[in-house]
């Protein structure tokens, strides 16, 4: 910002303060220094001073010839030698006294706004680029919950194994002379290629898992019969008309030649004494 611009801005500020609130002796002296002479209190003179000040703003566009001529005439009258009457140097409180300058000061302010309003008509309005929004609308609805996945039941898995595995064999259970085999029936389905199978029981006596459990043994033709493959332990719940149990072979059974169900302590055993064999199935 140049010194000239600062002086003009300060002059505007002092003139407005003088019109609305009055100036103290220091500000009055500063105003006199900026104008080059004392400023009288009459309305016409102060209005002319404001007009001259606006006319000296070089950055604005030229004013119409008639308006410029009136401003020059007012300026010549203002800058004529004036003898300022003596004034009481007592400071005047700012923003407190009710002054008769307020009406014509407001008129001068409206005149300033009118000049700038006239200039604004010749200025090109800012160009605003209108860009169509391409963002998708934000959805406030709650997305539907994904459907819950229900795992297939052992019966469904058994049926799928029979449908997809040509090597899957179904063999019926045969009861032994053990009392626990009375009235029991069902079958075993086994796929050697998939190492997957399922046992179906009907009429097998329910067990108390805290007392005893059933355990499956798979006798493999490629292994010693002393060490059949453990097929896992399972339970038969009370009042179950039919139970389908997946086979959980601990190791691979390449060529199953016999399936046997024994009654063992809770958790099963590593090597069965084969004291309670209730069902067998031979492919």
C-alpha pair distances (Å), 19 with each of 39, 66, 71: 11, 26, 19
Model confidence at 106, in pLDDT bands (50, 70, 90)? very low
Q: Report the distance separating Cα 117 and Cα 131, nearest Å.
A: 30
Which of 58-72, 81-95, 189-203 is predicted with the least confidence, judged by mean pLDDT?
81-95
pLDDT (tens digit per residue) in 230-245: 999 999 999 889 999 9
Instruction: Supply the mean pLDDT for the chain.
Output: 77
- State pLDDT tens for residues 83-94: 555 565 555 545
- Residue 126: the pLDDT is 47
Q: Which of 66-75, 104-113, 210-219 has the highest mean pLDDT?
A: 210-219
- For 57-88, b where at least 16 C-beta lie within 10 A, e where not — what string? eeeeeebeeeeeeebeebbeebeeeeeeeeee
pTM above 0.85, yes or no: no
> What confidence tens digit (pLDDT) does each residue in 110-149 have?
444 444 444 444 455 545 444 445 556 666 677 777 777 8
Band of residue 101 on the pLDDT scale cut at 50, 70, 90: very low
65, pLDDT greater than 60? yes
First to last CA, the chain: 105
Contact (CB, 8 A) for 216 and 231: yes
Choose among 266, 155, 258: nearest CA to 202: 155
Q: Give percent of the chain with pLDDT exceeding 70.
A: 63
Mean pLDDT across the stretch 25-34? 83
Helix (H) or strand (E) holding 3: helix 3-20
Q: Name the pLDDT band for 274 (thresholds 50, 70, 90).
A: very high
């Amino acid at each position: 910002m140049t010194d000239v611009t600062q002086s003009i801005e300060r002059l505007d500020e002092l003139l407005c303060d003088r019109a609305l609130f009055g100036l103290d002796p220091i500000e009055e002296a500063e105003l006199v220094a900026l104008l080059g002479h004392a400023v009288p209190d009459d309305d016409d003179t102060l209005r002319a001073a404001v007009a001259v000040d606006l006319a000296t703003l070089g950055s604005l566009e030229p004013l119409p010839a008639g308006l410029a001529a009136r401003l020059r005439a007012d300026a010549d009258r203002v800058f004529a030698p004036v003898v300022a009457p003596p004034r009481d140097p007592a400071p005047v409180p700012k923003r407190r006294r009710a002054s008769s300058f307020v009406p014509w000061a407001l008129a001068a302010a409206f005149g300033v706004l009118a000049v700038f309003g006239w200039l604004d008509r010749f200025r090109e309005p800012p160009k605003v680029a209108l860009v169509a929004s391409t963002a998708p609308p934000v959805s406030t609805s709650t997305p539907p919950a994904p459907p819950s996945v229900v795992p297939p039941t052992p019966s469904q898995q058994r049926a799928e194994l029979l449908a997809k595995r040509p090597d899957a064999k179904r063999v019926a259970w045969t009861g032994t002379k053990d009392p626990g085999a009375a009235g029991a029936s069902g079958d075993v389905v086994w796929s050697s290629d998939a190492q997957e199978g399922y046992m179906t029981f009907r009429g097998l006596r329910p067990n108390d898992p805290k007392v005893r459990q059933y355990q499956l043994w798979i006798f493999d033709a490629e292994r010693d019969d002393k060490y059949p493959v453990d097929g896992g332990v399972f339970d038969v719940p009370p009042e179950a008309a039919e139970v389908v149990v997946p086979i959980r072979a601990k190791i691979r059974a390449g060529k199953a030649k016999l399936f046997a169900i024994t009654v063992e302590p809770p958790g099963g055993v590593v090597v069965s004494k084969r004291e309670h064999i209730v069902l067998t199935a031979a492919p």
